[in-house]
Structure 1
């Protein structure tokens, strides 16, 4: 049963996948709220949310920019739910929902002002190379925001790492190093007071 729940978090699917996305939307609220406090979003920023899940953050970003806000995920259910939530923006050509893996994105170089990843990099393959792929699609002076519920010191980290094959948890120092090695010029780190919530922003 635990394995099934973990599998749903990795790649939501079927009816249970829809329920999983709804739970994640609720559980990730404090992380998302803090992330939006930390990042500057320009009125004309073009944005991509990687691992867009149910499309909640796409919906939020659409209210902050006049430009396009796209989502990318490799789960059929996540794609479907993101489309459902943001159908009006899709119909008005302000939003695309792309089904692909983060390590091979069908996206042009220097396309986005802001790329975000909420509670998803734990499962990314070859994180150093994947960050280079993210760097590729960001415009000069653009930003890459990573938001997660652990700063590498959460008491539940060890339990999850033992349970989920292939999962990785990164400290702020590790993320800074990976981002700088990928080509980002500066890295900002934010930690929410009295919590383990971590926001890291790499600037190109």
Structure 2
């Protein structure tokens, strides 16, 4: 397995190095993404594809709420548990190993769900978005944040280098979100080529549109 394959599912020593690199290297993008959503101090949040750093940010932004992180990589789960050890002990945080295609949560559990640099590796984003929709509370917010907006052909080299990776543009993401039932979809881009998509689960708005 190539070192860069660890971006998909970190394993072994290379995976540990990659998780550390992603936590630090994506911090600016994450901060940019967080400027596009509002998080209440008592929100119940979920971070899908967690390396730990954004779980920690969510805990800071919802000081009276709770945050769950989920990832299908054992290495990512271990790192996230280590970073958020104190809040896990305080029962404000849980880190689970699991698959986005079968989220192990009850319907309408979370106020906010985030996915940073991870939908590239979801085997079926339409199916995964339906899972996210299911576990998100009505009027809840789902945010996707990627460093690649799918508009730069040069970035396709990564899809050749990393098995199972697909880079989506904003229209592809928007279409799949609409298909899953999401409404009020907002697209944000910047000069760095980053993409942030924010949407709502609002059944009343869906019925009106």
TM range (shorter): over 0.9
Which residue does the alignment assign to 1:56?
Answer: 53
Q: Deviations over 1:86-136 (max 9, x none)?
A: 011001100010100100111111000011000000010111111001100
Aligned-pair distance for 1:166?
2.3
Equivalent residue number for residue 8 of structure 2: 10
Match of 1:202 among 199, 203, 209: 199
Task: Tell me whether 1:182 sits opposite 2:180 in the alignment.
Answer: yes
CA distance in 1, matches of 2:75, 2:29: 22
Q: CA deviation at 1:157?
A: 1.8
Please report the TM-score for the alignment, with normalisation by the length of structure 1.
Answer: 0.94
| Equivalent in the alignment of 2:117 | 119
| TM-score after normalising by structure 2 | 0.92
Unmatched tracts of structure 2, length 5 or more = 202-209
Look up the SS of the partner of 1:134 in the other structure: helix
Question: Which residue of 1 is the match for residue 97 of structure 2?
Answer: 99
Q: Structure 2: how far apart are the matches of 1:12 and 1:203?
A: 30
Match of 2:136 in 1: 138
Match for residue 148 of structure 2? 150
Structure 1 residues 43-82: Cα deviation after superposition (integer angstroms, max 9, x where no partner): 22110000002x0011111111111011000111111111
Give the C-alpha shift of residue 155 in structure 1. 4.4
Which 5+ residue runs of structure 1 have no aligned equivalent? none
Contact 1:180 / 1:186 at 8 angstroms: preserved in 2?
Answer: no
For the residues of structure 2 that align with 1:15 and 1:163, how far apart are their CA atoms?
Answer: 19
Structure 2 counterparts to residues 74-85 of structure 1, below 5 A: 74-85=72-83
- CA offsets, 1:123-180, max 9 Å, x none? 1011111100110000000011000001111343221122223211111111111101
1:11-50 correspondence runs (5 A): 11-50=9-48
